[in-house]
Structure 1
Amino acid sequence: MTNPVFTRNKVFTQRTPAGYPAMPGYQVGGGTQTLPGQGQYATYQPNPTTQPTQAYPNDPFAAPNAGQQADYGFPPASNAPTATRPVTLDDVLIKTLLTFGVLLVGGAVSWFTTATNPGLGYAMMFGGMIVALILGLVNSFKRRPSPALILGYAFFEGLMLGSISQLYSTLAGGVVPKAIGATIVTTLVMLVLFKTKTIRNSPTLMRVVFIGMGSLFVFYLLNFVISMIFPAANFYNVTLFGFPLWVVVSLVAIVLAALSLVTDFDFIMRAVENRAPAETAWTAAFGLMVTLVWLYLEFLRLFALFASSDN
């Protein structure tokens, strides 16, 4: 298990038989649709109980079965499953760009607010973080994606990122463009590696990412608790063979975030192969945003730490 946005939805995690795209009527986890009284594939047999009728009883030239529509044993049309357009990669791309556009709007608002009024900017940062956390949990557990909630999450996430970025920019100028550029380059590189099958998603890779993410969470939690009890003591002051520990931790976090992109890309491809509904593109955009925001924050902190160590 890696990104919970994808792993909680079976259209991203299950493959069709033999890994092929789904046949019409196939539902992930439910097998091929079977008609009542038939095998896997229905045969066209007229219903023998249906009596032929004439369209015009008084017409001497009417054919014996004129106007008769044979009943081939299919269920009524009202009971047939409603066909929906399957999701495509273009859908995912469009929804992702739209979601990040809303995030940039929220980021711009909090960036300029923090620059002119730091107190209000910090309030927007903490408020955006709390609301984004709540909306993130709601979107993660919803069975069907809600575009309004996902775009709302993007906006409040942008409020948080804008204020944080402005704070880091004040402490170490130039780190924000570096973090943005590094995030874009890393994403493109991982996409190329995934498309060329240089790096493939696998149960082993997913276990490595999951264990690494759990270890990072424990490290951050312990460091927070220790710094609250002993302000002068934290893991970032520790060195390993003369090498700062914070550099190791940041690099490990960046590698894990980059590998998470590979699993995200694979989940999205599975949804397209499984012919998931078009609305699934919103879930894919939301899941990608979670990983990319994590990657950006790790780059931002790494460059800020490097800048502060040089001063």
Structure 2
Amino acid sequence: MALFKSGNPALNEKTFDKVYSYTGTDSMTVKGTLNKFGILFLLTMAAAGFSWKMVYSGVDVTPYMWPCVFATLGIAVLMVFKMQWAPYLAPIYAIIKGFAVGVISAYYNHAFEKIAPNIITQSVALTFGVVIAMFLLYKFNIIKATQTFKKIVITATLGIAVFYLIAIGLHFANIDIPFLHEGSLIGIGFSLVVVALAAMNLILDFDMIENGANQGAPKFMEWYGAFALLVTIIWLYIEVLRLLSKLASRK
């Protein structure tokens, strides 16, 4: 099953190796996966809107942030081992993650409302511009998900994931890595690299979903594929938002 590799931790070779042990009359389709993604996206947006409103209503949502982060991580890990639960866990993930995204967005909007009043709108527009661009590049075979391409993206993604885990651990020890948040040239360069890496993961995810549909993966994998795509897009949005904030801070 060498076709099934992705930089997205939710989609990898072992993911699809497992699912063919399940039997059923219906199979995964690309259209079905996109429909499921639409549902998850709406849930994410609704939850984000709710938490955004809470922030601007003066509610202190800070105590909820880390529980949300660890809850979504736990759900993601559980879904890797129980992929057949994706129809139930993916919507829960979308709601919790959406809540966190709304809080983060409200924070950035408030922090940069004077020097970059449209930072959220710009981040959303750039994120979906990148998603559309990467889909077209994949669709027209301009960028191909070759084995070499996959290995490079997977290795780089795992490296960034480990680095972020270390950064979180240092944060709890009251130690912050400056270029993660500051608008230095190193910080901006780092964000550009991570944004590019997140974009490259989209190519692998599109390839994964298409191959899963072509090879008749079980129907519940539509939810799993939609969840994985949502993970990548949210990651891309957060990194774009971080990049724009760094650029704005240099004004």
TM-score band w.r.t. shorter chain: 0.7 to 0.9
More contact order relative to length (CA 8 Å, sep ≥ 6)? 2
Q: Could you tell me how far 1:214 is from its partner in structure 2?
A: 2.9
The one of 51, 58, 66 aligned to 1:110: 51
1:261 aligns with 2:202: yes
Pairwise mapping of residues 270-289 of structure 1 onto structure 2 (< 5 A)?
270-289=211-230
Question: What root-mean-square deviation, in Å, do the aligned CA atoms of Structure 1 and Structure 2 show?
Answer: 2.7
1:159 aligns with 2:123: no
Q: Secondary structure at the match of 1:206?
A: helix
Pairwise mapping of residues 10-49 of structure 1 onto structure 2 (< 5 A)?
10=16
TM-score w.r.t. the length of structure 1 is 0.70
What CA distance in whole angstroms lies between the structure 1 residues aligned with 2:147 and 2:127? 25
Partner of 1:248: 189
1:6 aligns with 2:22: no
What CA distance in whole angstroms lies between the structure 2 residues aligned with 1:238 and 1:151? 34
Residue 187 of structure 1 aligns with an amino acid whose one-letter code is V
What CA distance in whole angstroms lies between the structure 1 residues aligned with 2:182 and 2:246? 14
TM-score w.r.t. the length of structure 2 is 0.86
Q: Could you tell me how far 1:179 is from its partner in structure 2?
A: 1.0
What CA distance in whole angstroms lies between the structure 1 residues aligned with 2:28 and 2:57? 43
Contact 1:209 1:256 (C-alpha < 8 Å) held by counterparts: yes
1:304 aligns with 2:245: yes
Partner of 1:54: none
What CA distance in whole angstroms lies between the structure 1 residues aligned with 2:177 and 2:222? 45
Q: Secondary structure at the match of 1:6?
A: coil
Which structure has the larger Rg over C-alpha atoms?
1
What CA distance in whole angstroms lies between the structure 1 residues aligned with 2:131 and 2:17? 23
Contact 1:150 1:282 (C-alpha < 8 Å) held by counterparts: yes
What CA distance in whole angstroms lies between the structure 2 residues aligned with 1:90 and 1:124? 35
Q: Could you tell me how far 1:88 is from its partner in structure 2?
A: 1.6
Q: Could you tell me how far 1:205 is from its partner in structure 2?
A: 1.1
What CA distance in whole angstroms lies between the structure 1 residues aligned with 2:171 and 2:68? 24
Q: Could you tell me how far 1:233 is from its partner in structure 2?
A: 6.8
Partner of 2:28: 87
Residue 142 of structure 2 aligns with an amino acid whose one-letter code is T
1:200 aligns with 2:144: yes
Quickly say closer, same or farther: Cα 1:87–1:307, change in 2 above 3 A: same
Quickly say closer, same or farther: Cα 1:95–1:218, change in 2 above 3 A: closer
Residue 297 of structure 1 aligns with an amino acid whose one-letter code is I
Contact 1:11 1:271 (C-alpha < 8 Å) held by counterparts: no
Q: Could you tell me how far 1:224 is from its partner in structure 2?
A: 5.5
Deviations 1:68-123 (A, max 9, x none): xxxxxxxxxxxxx975122222101110000111111111111100111241x223
Partner of 2:65: 125
Residue 79 of structure 2 aligns with an amino acid whose one-letter code is N
How many residue pairs align between the two structures?
Answer: 241
Deviations 1:136-173 (A, max 9, x none): 21112214243121100100001100000000001113
What CA distance in whole angstroms lies between the structure 2 residues aligned with 1:131 and 1:100? 18
Contact 1:87 1:277 (C-alpha < 8 Å) held by counterparts: yes
In structure 2, stretches of 5+ residues that fail to align are 1-5
What CA distance in whole angstroms lies between the structure 1 residues aligned with 2:64 and 2:209? 33
Quickly say closer, same or farther: Cα 1:254–1:114, change in 2 above 3 A: same
Higher helix share: 2
Quickly say closer, same or farther: Cα 1:129–1:273, change in 2 above 3 A: same
Identity of aligned residues (%): 26
Deviations 1:14-38 (A, max 9, x none): xxxxxxxxxxxxx96x9xxxxxxxx
Partner of 1:186: 130
Instruction: Return 121-130 or 301-310, whichever deviates more.
Output: 121-130
